[in-house]
Each structure stands twice: as structure tokens, then as C-alpha cells.
Structure 1
């Protein structure tokens, strides 16, 4: 299917300019979140015109693995400054490897790869072990300094991936089953509290994406590398699900924790339209699989982008 087979703006939620147009699309997006049983925060930004759609866009959120995008930008800035060599070979053994369901985290042998490949693994498959190896080189303070330098003062990293996982284990008493069976355990999770976890806002995440797409976050070559890697993310069930067109490219980074389903990214149309979108959701239940929440991210993003394309 080609994107132009459906004329932009034909969705009834995507009102054109004029009084009440933003309110209309926001109401439709709220309904999408409500039908999925989640609370949603969203910011969508037209990278050409600066037009936006915002829904609780300045509310702090726990970012989960979305914060790996902040880490990746920091790595590229360190490389620009000569503080880090992207070709440095890093060895990772199974004994000291951060756990996780993907990438190096799931391997049983010793692995050796360059920093630039660790960056790719941390973004494309959300590899926790690769991300922590990068944090070892730039530090959480380095990530926060990079975000401040870009004017993102509400985007703060306080936990490595290992610390994040360890805190969940501590708060659940070492019993993962309690996360889905005991509401009191879920309520204790520090990683769900933006005041105690890695955090940002939807608006600041679209600003970060805009900086990457405008070659302002790091040097043009390294920004292009980030854009390419984000376009190779393997998960199609969230942001990408809202844009099932052969000629529309979606670049994204997901984030997942108990009750949390997120994705931030940029949607590029063949006519040159580019739209940064950040969608953060929280469900009332902690089921591992939440297809309705996943799909709501794509639907909400599509409604927001179609509204921007109708302006």
C-alpha cells in the first residue's frame, strides 16, 4: 500500500487549521487510549513547519528503554569530541553481563565487538548488556550533561540498565509473578515513578529527535548513522503499526516496563514530510503481552501525524 492511496487529512480526527482543530484530534487520541485501557501522553512535531499536537506533553514519564536514545546521542557526541573511539573493541563475558531478553544479554559465551556495534544493538533490539557497556564509557553524568547541552533539562538518567532491573527484583521481593498478581507490589516499583527513575517528557523527546534529524545533536555523519540505526529497529507492533505503507519509513525506539509501553520516533513520508512523535502509555495491569496498548501507540501517532499533514 502506498501512503498517498489515502489522502492526508481524510480521517475525521485530523481537522485542518482553525478553531478547535487541535482539540478535535486530541479527543480522538484520548478515545484511542481509553479504548486500549491505558493512560497516554503524546507529542507530535512537524519537523518542517513546527506545528504540533500535544496531549499531556509536558508531563514527566518514566522512559524505560526509550532512554537508550539519550545514551546513543551521548556516545556520538563523545566520539565527536574525541573522548571515545567508535572502533574500540569491547569484550563482554557472561558472568558480568546485564540480563535481558535480547542481544548480548541472552548469549552464553564471551563476545567482542566495537563500540559502534554496541550502539546499534542497544537501539535496534534494545540490548540491555550493550547499553550498560556504553554507559561504562560515558557515564550517567555524561548522558545528563549531553541532554542539558541540548536544552533538555527534564530528561534525566539516574539508573543503569542493571540498576533498573535490580530495583524491580528488590521491589517485587525476587518474585516476578507478584508483578502481575499483587497490585501492592506493582505500586511499589520505583522504576514506574518518574521522580525516582530515568525520565523525560514527550515534548523533550521530540526535541531530541528533531536535533538528530537536523544534525544538531552531533556531527552530521554521526547523526546520519543514528537515523539509519533507528530505521532498523526490529519491533513493528507499536509506532510502525500506524503507518503500514511501503513508501513511509518509520524510525523508532521502544521502551517497556511493567504497565509501561512506549515508543518515540520519526515518520518520514515520500513527499519530504518528517514528523517526530513520542507516545508514552501506562496500563492498569501488568500483563506481559498487551497488544491493545501496543496498537494504540501506532493509532494515536497516525492520528496526530495526519492532523499535522492536514494543516
Structure 2
């Protein structure tokens, strides 16, 4: 059998897909059980945006596991002073009272920023960082709340408001787009976290199962899930977005028990808020990577073996 040509190597197909969609992209995908992996810039520092809600969710369940809180504890969300956002409590008009676990559902299923702030108020930013450090995510760090992240975008946009975000000069000064000044990680760190969740290493089996359940309830079909339009394939993930940034991390499970963690982070050349191709390429590149990992020919993934980060 002839060696695959360079243009047919999955890494080159992934890079070509990113380019065709008008984005710069970084990806890491790993077979959770065999540790075979494929990467495109897997150690590049990236802005996590709402992907960091996954780190908060794990910290919440570690606190529950240690008896520091009960997931059924109730929290109040007044109508005033909510963190801006288009979904969940952030978009609601009246006072609400929810349990911590229901706030976690809103945070993960529809990326509710107010629900995330309620949980951060109970868990604390330091505890989120302690959780990622404990799990060996050495390049993952939270420096601000989700509300603070949004505030920096508003401040840096200036008097021009949201319309100013179409200006390249404004985008260039956004702290929210600089991994050195906001919540950050790498694609490899994120797949390491997902692998720990799916192997019941991040929490006890009970709490890990609860985290997996919430990841499986995310409603957005336009990014990672778009690459796997099959009833028998299960997709669980968490998106993250900011001006020009579209991200998603998740796990794809096949009926033959194959399970694959994948993290895709992108930055678009265009500042347009609606870029369907930039959303869809997350699913496209994840599918290329996972098809390669499922290939019986080890040359399709360049012979990359070993634990993530090894």
C-alpha cells in the first residue's frame, strides 16, 4: 500500500478546512481509551470564553463530593443586576430561585451567564483554578468571572457599542481576545479534562456521570454536533464564543463503545457575528480527526501514540 500523500493526511485536511472557512484553528482529538491522538496546534494558548464553564462545573461537583455544598442548595437570582446574555436567567425578567444543580444545567445547556455567576459565587474562582491544577491542566487558568469577561468587551469597544466590534482596530485592543489577559487553556488541556471526566478521574463515578449528563444536554447543534449527524452517535460538548472566536470541546461516543475527546478553537478573519461556515468547520475538523483515529491504518494519524501531553 502506498504512503498517504501530504495533501491527504488528516492534519493537512484539517488545516485546509480551517482555511476554507476563513478561520485560524487549533485542534486536539484523542481516543479516550487507547490514547491515540491527532493535533493541529494543540498546545497553543487559546481564549476559552464559555468553555471555561466546564472547569467551573467540575469544581462544583468536587465541592459537592467533599461535602462543602449540596447540589440541591437553593440560590436566589434577583431581576436586577444579572450578567448580560441572550439565554436562561440572563434573559429572564423576573426574580428566580433555583438549585445549584439546576443552575448548572442552565450554564451548560444554554450557556447561561447569570447561572454561571451564581455558581461562581458559591465555588470561587480560586477553587476553579485549584481544580484544574489538581487535574494536571498546567496551561489552564481562570483570571476573571464571566461577567468581568463581558465587561471588558464593553469597555474596550468604547462609545461605539456593539457596532464598534466590526472595526479591526477595536478588535485588536480587546482584552477578551488575548489569552494572556483572560481565561485561557489549550486544546490538549481541554481533552485531558474531558478524558478525566469520562474515565471517572475528575470526580467520583456518581459526580462524573452527572457532569457527563449535563454536557450531553447542550442544545447547540451548529458546531461540534454538525459533524456527526447520526442518531446512534452521541455528542456531548460545551461551546464558547466571543467576537471572532468560536470554540467547542466535547466527547463523541460511537455505538461500538469508541469514545473520543476533541477540542476545537477558532478565530475568524471576519468580524461578522453570523458566519455559518466558521461554526460548521468545528464539526467538520472534529469529524476528520476522529475518522482518522478510528481508521485501522495507524499512518492516518501519523503514528501518534501515548497519553495526551506525553
Q: TM-score, normalised by structure 1?
A: 0.92
Q: 1:235-257: CA deviations, max 9, x gaps?
A: 00000000001100000000010
> Where in structure 2 are the equivalents of 1:34-113 lying within 5 Å?
34-113=19-98
RMSD of aligned residue pairs (Cα, Å): 1.6
**Matching of residues 146-295 of structure 1 within 5 Å:** 146-174=131-159, 175-180=161-166, 182-295=167-280
Moved more, 282-291 or 266-275: 282-291
Query: SS at 1:156's partner residue?
Result: coil
SS for the counterpart of 1:279 is strand
1:136 aligns with 2:121: yes
Of the structure 1 ranges 22-31 and 48-57, higher mean CA displacement relative to structure 2 is found in 22-31
Structure 1: give runs of 5+ residues left out of the alignment. Answer: 1-15
CA apart distance, 1:20: 7.6
The answer for unaligned runs of 5 or more in structure 2 is: 297-310
Give the TM-score normalised by structure 2.
0.93
The 1:191–1:169 alpha-carbon spacing in structure 2 relative to 1, beyond 3 Å, is: same
> Deviation digits for residues 43-101 of structure 1, max 9, x if unmatched?
00001110000100000000010000000000000000111211111010121211101
The structure-2 alpha-carbon separation of the partners of 1:275 and 1:20, relative to structure 1 and needing over 3 Å to count, comes to: farther
User: d(CA) in 2 for partners of 1:19 and 1:213?
Assistant: 32
| Equivalent position SS for 2:294 | helix
SS of the equivalent of 1:173 reads helix
Q: Deviations over 1:168-199 (max 9, x none)?
A: 0100014110001x111111100100000100
Give the direction of change, closer, same or farther, for the CA distance of 1:23–1:202 in structure 2 (3 Å limit).
Answer: farther
Whether the 8 Å contact between 1:86 and 1:116 is mirrored in structure 2 is yes
Counterpart CA distance in 2 for 1:60 and 1:129 is 26
Residue 3 of structure 1 is matched in structure 2 by none
Distance in 2, Cα, partners of 1:102 & 1:195: 28
Q: Distance in 2 between matches of 1:255 and 1:85?
A: 27
Q: Is the 8 A contact 2:47 2:182 kept in 1?
A: yes
